[in-house]
Amino acid sequence: MGYELGNLAAHIHWVLAKPAVPGWEDIRQNVSGHTFYYIYSGKGVFRCEEGDREVEAGTVVYLWPGLPLYMKSSEAYPLRMTMLLFDCASLRRSVEGWEVPEPISRLRLPFLMTLQSERIRRIGALFREAERGWVPGDPVREARVKSLWYRLLPELHEAAEEGDIKRSEQDMAATLRRFKEQLDTGFAAELRITELCEQTGFSPVYLRRAFAAQYGCSPKEYLGQLRNEHAVRRLRFTGDPVGDIARACGYSDVYQFSKAFKKRNGVSPTDYRLRAEEPRPAASTQTSAAPSS
């Protein structure tokens, strides 16, 4: 679901220091909440649905509810990290009062974020302070750690949105190809671009920028162009009713289709079809009379 950072409410379940022990292995025990890991030093491997991913110092790992994880630390360079386990919900207030909190199933954050130097300092400091300040059962200490969570979350969202994610160009290119294929083959469905972006593991803002750089337009604009191209051909080469063409090209109703079509083509779908059917004037076969001698 969508959310605004200012509307989020959190409950911190646990903050745990994972010491640097060579070669340790572990699995994610609690999959019902959200988890952050911040890696201060060392190297290791995290295995989840995306496969094996190498991790190192300066990396934030985000685990959403339901995601299984296997972790293994390097023998030579053991991982040292902090775990923060929490729940969060969107809590809005209207003129009538507080609305019912809506649990957040997944934050707009990727599985892995390898941070840039300046963010390493700020985000690492917040995790260290949370680790030092956490005392379970102490409401004052828990409130202080929760205040750190509220400072941490905007930093992580900004890091994701600004593209502080170090993935190889090959990974990014493959992700863009798969994403474009979803648009190419699913254009007739009621697609939500933001949800498709989030499924890639990249933030929507970061993926939009990468898509625009690769294909010259945003995913939303590309989808609009693609639907228009399909509509143009159906209007020209079939006798399908306009309502059927609208649905076949991914529009919820004729009004939405007509409005989008006219904006792109300057005429309504019906007028476009009529113009396409108009016979072209035949070329003139008359010749000038030969001059009399």
CATH for 185: 1.10.10.60
Does 40 reside within a domain? yes
286 pLDDT higher than 50: no
pTM, two decimals, is 0.57
77 pLDDT higher than 70: yes
Does 282 reside within a domain? no
Based on the domain organization, do 144 and 183 belong to the same domain?
no
Confidence band for 284, pLDDT divided at 50, 70 and 90: very low
Interval 163-212: pLDDT, tens: 644 445 567 778 888 889 989 998 988 878 777 776 776 777 778 888 89
Query: According to the model, what pLDDT value does residue 197 have?
Result: 76
CATH of the domain at 121: 2.60.120.280
Based on the domain organization, do 23 and 45 belong to the same domain?
yes
Based on the domain organization, do 232 and 154 belong to the same domain?
no
160 pLDDT higher than 90: no
Confidence band for 285, pLDDT divided at 50, 70 and 90: very low
Query: According to the model, what pLDDT value does residue 170 have?
Result: 61
C-alpha to C-alpha distances, 20 to 73, 103, 124, 248, nearest whole angstrom: 8, 34, 16, 57
Does 286 reside within a domain? no
Enclosing domain of residue 74:
5-161
Confidence band for 117, pLDDT divided at 50, 70 and 90: confident
What distance in Å separates the CA atoms of residue 13 and residue 23, rounded to the nearest whole number? 27
77 vs 280, higher pLDDT: 77
Nearest to 114 by CA among 162, 51, 175, 154: 162
Based on the domain organization, do 83 and 33 belong to the same domain?
yes
Does 270 reside within a domain? yes
Based on the domain organization, do 191 and 70 belong to the same domain?
no
Based on the domain organization, do 19 and 157 belong to the same domain?
yes
What distance in Å separates the CA atoms of residue 265 and residue 97, rounded to the nearest whole number? 47
Based on the domain organization, do 122 and 228 belong to the same domain?
no
**Which pairs from 241-249 meet CB under 8 Å and 24+ separation?**
242/269, 242/270, 242/273, 245/269, 247/188, 248/188, 249/187, 249/188
Based on the domain organization, do 130 and 150 belong to the same domain?
yes
Confidence band for 223, pLDDT divided at 50, 70 and 90: very high
Does 283 reside within a domain? no
Looking at the structure of the chain, the number of domains it has is: 2
Mean residue pLDDT of the chain comes to: 86
Query: According to the model, what pLDDT value does residue 17 have?
Result: 93
Based on the domain organization, do 64 and 141 belong to the same domain?
yes
What distance in Å separates the CA atoms of residue 82 and residue 127, rounded to the nearest whole number? 7
CA atoms lying within 13 Å on the CB side of residue 144: 15
Based on the domain organization, do 46 and 94 belong to the same domain?
yes
Does 287 reside within a domain? no
